[in-house]
Amino acid sequence: MAVLRIHTFPDPLLTRTSERIAEIDGRVAGYVADMVETMYAANGVGLAAPQVGLLERAIVVDTDSENRGLAPLCLLNPEVVEAEGDITWEEGCLSVVDYTAEVQRSARVLVSGWSVDQEEVRIEATGLKAVCLQHEIDHLDGKLFLDHLSPLKRGLYRKRLKKIKRSGELPDDGVPRI
């Protein structure tokens, strides 16, 4: 397994739509294992394949803070098949440096997909897990949580990012990122 490089905003790769995975094989299982390792190394609770440069529909999630690392959720070709209610959550992202913002999402989701063992998976989720699944699936469709914000907030973040890059310092605030 390997820790992969995480692409960050404004990398255009993050705006591209990922392709469905036609064949679940050892190659897919290998990069999904690398994604899990990368997510933990970056102190994240979720990671999508485009964030590590792969335009394929794969996500990994681990929102269980008490049993971290014991049972990461790895989903291939995930899609939200049911959604209801609203929840507002303070989101961050491994691909969005030093920024969090409140985003409105569905409070409950039912997500279907496939495991790396070629088994169909259906997950009903609420709270952080629901938010994280929606956030990661957005990545597969070329969307960042920034796309859920007003143009004003996105513009302010762009200015902030330029300032951070000029300073040469990327702060590590220790906050887990989705």
Return the active site residues: 136
Q: Which residues have CB under 8 Å from 35's CB, separation 6+?
A: 4, 47, 49, 52, 58, 60, 74
Q: For residue 50, is the peptide bond before it cis, meaning its omega torsion is within 30 degrees of 0?
A: no
- The two tokens of residue 169 are 């310092």
Query: CA 32 to CA 34: how far, in whole Å?
Result: 5
